């Protein structure tokens, strides 16, 4: 089995980008550097869209938006790409993925704090711990969706998670 982070060649990457292989090497001295930059940008975008999904909305709308985002990430390939980069042997990509996951947890923490405030609730456990659990749930449910599991079979787990989160809050 090949390493998911090294399966594509620089020739293939250049062809997909519509540029010469030398131009790829000019901007990214190594394939490892290219994978690291891809991971950094991918995870930064994930953090941004998840923060936006949970922030500045009524609670029900935020949870619906987040569920929709989870389904989109599962179908557009961004979740699979994130997972693949995390499984690669690339040291730079691995570091970028770890940093990106930490950024996602911070973004989810921010979003949860705003969501709790909007609901006039406060967390009984640190929101960062709930956010770390949410990040794991997003990846787990997302990969199940990406592998073909029907959304209607996974949505109850999504709802149960949020019911459990609500039980970890108290009136603000």
Tell me the pLDDT tens digit for each residue of 94-115. 899 999 999 999 999 999 999 9
Exposure string of 27-63, with b = 16+ CB inside 10 Å and e = fewer, is ebeebbebbbebbbebbbebbebbbbbbbebeeeebb
Does residue 160 belong to any structural domain of this protein? Answer: yes
Does residue 25 belong to any structural domain of this protein? Answer: no
Does residue 11 belong to any structural domain of this protein? Answer: no
On the question of pLDDT at 48 being above 70, the answer is yes
Number of domains in the chain: 1
Does residue 18 belong to any structural domain of this protein? Answer: no
What is the arithmetic mean of pLDDT over 126-149? 96
Q: Is 125 helix (H, G, I), strand (E, B) or coil?
A: coil
| Boundaries of domain holding 156 | 35-171
Convert the pLDDT of each residue in 16-38 to its tens digit. Answer: 888 888 887 888 888 888 888 88
Provide the whole-model pTM.
0.87
Does residue 10 belong to any structural domain of this protein? Answer: no
């Amino acid at each position: 089995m090949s390493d998911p982070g090294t399966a594509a060649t620089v020739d293939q990457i250049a062809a997909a980008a519509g540029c010469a292989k030398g131009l790829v090497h000019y901007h990214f001295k190594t394939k490892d550097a290219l994978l690291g930059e891809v991971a950094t940008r991918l995870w930064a975008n994930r953090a941004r869209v998840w923060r936006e999904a949970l922030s500045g909305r009524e609670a029900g709308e935020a949870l619906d938006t987040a569920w929709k985002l989870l389904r989109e990430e599962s179908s557009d390939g961004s979740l699979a790409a994130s997972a693949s980069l995390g499984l690669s042997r690339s040291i730079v990509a691995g570091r970028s993925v770890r940093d990106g996951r930490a950024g996602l947890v911070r973004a989810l923490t921010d979003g949860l704090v705003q969501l709790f405030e909007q609901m006039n609730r406060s967390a009984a456990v640190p929101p960062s711990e709930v956010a770390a659990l949410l990040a794991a749930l997003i990846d787990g449910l997302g990969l199940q969706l990406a592998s073909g599991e029907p959304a209607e079979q996974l949505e109850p787990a999504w709802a149960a998670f949020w019911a459990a989160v609500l039980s970890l809050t108290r009136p603000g």
